[in-house]
Amino acid sequence: MMSVTDPNMSDRFASAMEEIHNKQLKTFADIADMTAELSLSHKQFVNSAIDTCLKKSRDDEMMFETIQSSRKDLEQKKVSLKEKQRVVSEGVSEIQEKEMQKDNIIQKIQKLKEEQTKRQELIMTQNKANKNRLKNLQKARYVFQDHLALEIRTILGKTEVTKGEKLQFVFRNINLADQDSAYVVTMGMKENGQYQIVSSDPPLECLPALESRLQKTNNLAAFLANVRREFISQARC
């Protein structure tokens, strides 16, 4: 063991203390450096976390705006879809209505065709009947005009009652006292093709009955013969 009176003791103690101080300084420096590094690392971490949070916040805001915009677009699309559905429904209703109108028009056209066919058949029937009546008139003309002094005149009625073309049958040789005296029956045609007696001069009370028989038999010669007989009967009373 060294003696405290050793003259080098003080130097060794100072040297030891300085070494310990240097070690402590080095330790403190290492601690300071480590603290600085940790502080810088923490600061960087905090800054990175802040940047991440800010970015996340901005992303969230953009996502929220996107969601809001999508919601608005969806609402607009819903409104547009409802409007289109309404338009389609109206279009379908209009098409159905037009189909019904088309069916009605087709039915009316068919009905008109049937009516036209019936009218044509009626016209043909009337024309045939008129031809037969014309033949009867020709026969009556030959019989009465050539043998019984019958004169046939065509006249045009001027009043509403006698409107249209009429025939006058002028009988003579009725009155033995005055054989040139004229006895006249005026007749025409109804719209349905039947004979129509307009008047007689002198009047015959039985003329409506003779007209009714003529319309049933369509025998003009027999009618004229009956009229002549009635005129003779009336003139000789």
The residues, any chain, with a CB within 8 Å of residue 133's CB and separated by 6 or more, are 195, 218, 220
Please give the residue that has the higher pLDDT: either 121 or 143: 121
pLDDT at residue 175 tops 90: no
Question: Which pTM does this prediction carry?
Answer: 0.42
Q: Could you please report the per-residue DSSP string of 4-55?
A: TT-TTHHHHHHHHHHHHHHHHHHHHHHHHHHHHHHHHHHHHHHHHHHHHHHH
Share of the chain above pLDDT 90, in %: 12
Q: Identify the helix (H) or strand (E) that includes residue 97.
A: helix 9-140
* pLDDT at res. 178: 86
β-strands 183-189, 195-201: how paired? antiparallel
Q: Tell me the mean pLDDT in the region 137-154.
A: 70
User: Which residue in this structure is represented by tokens 């005296």?
Assistant: 181
Contact call for residues 195 and 220 (beta carbons, < 8 A): yes
Please give the residue that has the higher pLDDT: either 89 or 143: 89
Query: Which CATH number fits the domain 133-235, given the four candidates 3.30.70.260, 2.60.40.3080, 3.40.50.720, 3.30.457.50?
Result: 3.30.457.50
Query: What residues does each domain of the chain span?
Result: 133-235
Q: Tell me the mean pLDDT in the region 190-200.
A: 84
User: Which residue in this structure is represented by tokens 């901005």?
Assistant: 58
How would you class 199 by CB atoms within 10 Å of its CB: exposed for 0-12, middle for 13-18, buried for 19 or more?
A: middle
DSSP 144: I
Rounded distance between C-alpha atoms, residue 191 and residue 51, angstroms:
107
Contact call for residues 183 and 174 (beta carbons, < 8 A): yes
User: Which residue in this structure is represented by tokens 């037009």?
Assistant: 98
Of the ranges 72-76, 118-122, 123-127, 205-209, the best mean pLDDT one: 205-209
Rounded distance between C-alpha atoms, residue 197 and residue 200, angstroms:
8
Q: Tell me the mean pLDDT in the region 194-221.
A: 90
* pLDDT at res. 67: 86
